[in-house]
Chain A
């Protein structure tokens, strides 16, 4: 392994272990040992990975490719053996298909699927002359693990609201466990973290009832939101131009934090630079199986949950005021 890039690679993976340790229920040292073992083995025998793209926009690919910690280049070249990925691989046409068939025959690879699968008619997504559904089924057969990447591949996402009968992998591959990493696009930490978890333990991480890793999708956006105190006080942003309202709760702009389970409020996006709520737009609920159709209209309250929570908060706020006034009287 190269001295410079090799070191970056190892260091970043060790950083990752800190995040994974808690989820594994192991001490960080144990995990570090495991990762080191995996890394040592990896230089000669890297785990094979197939990444399929169906009815996708390549957003999950670009999300993954823009991960800086660890750098995507070191994952692609040092950590995994990326056998097939239409947007990245050197080969085209029959050369790329050869690589796919060869890997499927060998078996034991990690299968990543990006994009939904059209069931209305196979001809809505054809690759190398074959319907995408057929390709997914074939690749699923010999896969060691299957990860559905992003909203479209997990639950159908945006295309599911359209005319092509688009569904996620779990509707097509029925006889194997599917790890669902939702959000539109996938969060690179969620994807890389899940792959590291699998490679270091050989196990599927604990999942919620929708097949999502609990370590990333266990808690509500709303409960962990930095704007939650404003929500409680009833300070709800109405005008994006008012600097005073800048950090207020976005529930009146259709924030879906109250009905969405993911760790964006804590993890944020793009190395902590910004994210949906910090930028004043609000959560659009992209981690949930009902996204997109069930979250629309995106800028109002289709589930009625917001109104309900606002009413409860008002009662709490009134009680607090009452208590405070009570104290003053004493």
Chain B
């Protein structure tokens, strides 16, 4: 029996997560991932006005709020029979574009970079760059006043931490710069989203912000600034780390997991046409030499609750899930359920999307010997951020053309009133991966609501067949030479960009079937 250690809370993620690992001979032998907070967002929606759903589900997560608002609006569009006009789709897409840019940047610099940097190495910076010296003064000042919170305490830097003063000081400067850049990217989204966090304008049928030309130009100017930062700072930083100091971790395949990947597909590049920026697909047991992508079929999803704090049932399709909570359950250890695709434990998110897209830049990295895992996840994020920016420019051009057309529309006002009854499903690919919302309406009220979110896939506990979730599996074999310093454990977990407030939800017994599958 190895030594069991607990990391609780795992910080610099969204939400409350506990990770238990068993360590034997300096390596992780087994692992358990537990979500430790629940609010019951779907339950509280029952009996409410269906139009409230996109506003309320935004509160599932304060980091990726917009994706829930959108996915919920997709489900409502479906249930109301609303046809979102092209103008509405373009504006929604631009808001989502802004969301991608800030979310990926925030994750790399503010949530994860500290795992790879020995910040205190800054004191040894010998250069004369004025801006870098300002950063040095700041950090040295903190050390001198004996108050280095929140940069310390921390896990001890290990051999994979970068401690070259020039690299570290530049990265920390970028951390500070990126904090302003992510805020500006959010504000960019607020031009059409209304305000951030928790955008206000996305509603069933489209959105409420009628754009004027100045707003579109303002969005474009702000996008220019983001594009410059992403191309000149963010992508070079990720690639320099990934192919440089972190390459040994990439080659080792730290945080690989099951090598099963899933994407629902999202974002029409040229609405109303159906071409998607991120294609849908499934990869099971990936062979890097021969990437086989199968079509995605929504009906193949089941959710198991054997190890989750819900009353037992056999695995069911999420929209049919029988799930009342049971906090005393003996073999339960998480509020997160265990979704499976044809029984397989899947990874969702940027790495899954870029593999399913067979993106040349990512494939190139894999060919160079970087195994899919923690480092490849950071690379995939950077790669797709650029793709989203390019798409935003196209959406802006298309929007400007649309706006000159007579009868330009942003909302389907014909279908704003609540139908007596109906069902709807919405699917989207947020930065963290596959997201689905389901709604059932009866007597003009919400009868049932369900969301299966990206981190439910990634952070799931074991399923009915006791197959580990993707976090758990990706930890197996990770080097932990010092049990008091499990830095590789948090590196792996953070590489997924966990969002636990998302992953946890209390749901109710009866539910509707998924009938349609819409992607926008």
Contact = CB atoms under 8 A, between A and B. Distances in A.
A11 to B, nearest CB: 15
Contact of A299 (B49, B130, B152, B184): B49
B49 A62 contact: no
Nearest to B7: A93
Contacts of A197: none
Nearest to B42: A162
Nearest to B185: A66
A68 B151 CA distance: 21
Interface of A is mostly: loop
A326 interface: no
A162 B41 contact: yes
A95 B154 contact: yes
B37 A124 contact: yes
B195 interface: yes
A298 interface: yes
Contacts, number: 287
Interface stretch (B50-58, B249-257, B338-346): B50-58
A125 B16 contact: yes
A72 B183 contact: yes
B500 to A, nearest CB: 10
B63 A58 contact: yes
Nearest to B135: A2
B190 A241 contact: no
Contacts of A91: 11, 150, 152-155
Contacts of B240: none
A275 B199 CA distance: 9
Contacts of B198: 59, 184-185
A238 B176 CA distance: 44
A215 to B, nearest CB: 20
A176 to B, nearest CB: 24
Interface in B9-56: 9-16, 18, 36-41, 43-44, 48-49, 51-52, 55-56
Interface string B199-223: 0110100111110000000000000
Nearest to A126: B36
Given A93-B8, A278-B194, A98 B506 contact: no
Given A125-B16, A164-B40, A270 B52 contact: no
Interface residues of A, number: 94
A92 B13 CA distance: 10
Interface in A279-303: 279-281, 284, 292, 296-300
Question: What are the 3 tightest A-B residue pairs by CB atom distance, in nearest-first order?
Answer: A59-B62, A279-B194, A297-B49
Given A87-B14, A246-B210, 7 more contacts: A4-B134, A57-B65, A58-B501, A95-B154, A95-B155, A124-B37, A269-B195
Interface of A: 1-5, 43-46, 48, 53-63, 65-68, 71-73, 76-78, 81-93, 95-96, 98-99, 116, 118, 121, 123-129, 157-159, 161-164, 166, 184-185, 238-241, 243, 246, 253, 268-271, 273-276, 278-281, 284, 292, 296-300
Interface of B: 6-16, 18, 36-41, 43-44, 48-49, 51-52, 55-56, 59-63, 65, 85, 110-111, 114, 119, 130-131, 133-135, 137-138, 141-142, 145, 147, 149-155, 176, 179-180, 182-184, 186-187, 190-198, 200-201, 203, 206-210, 327, 408-411, 413, 486, 490, 501, 506
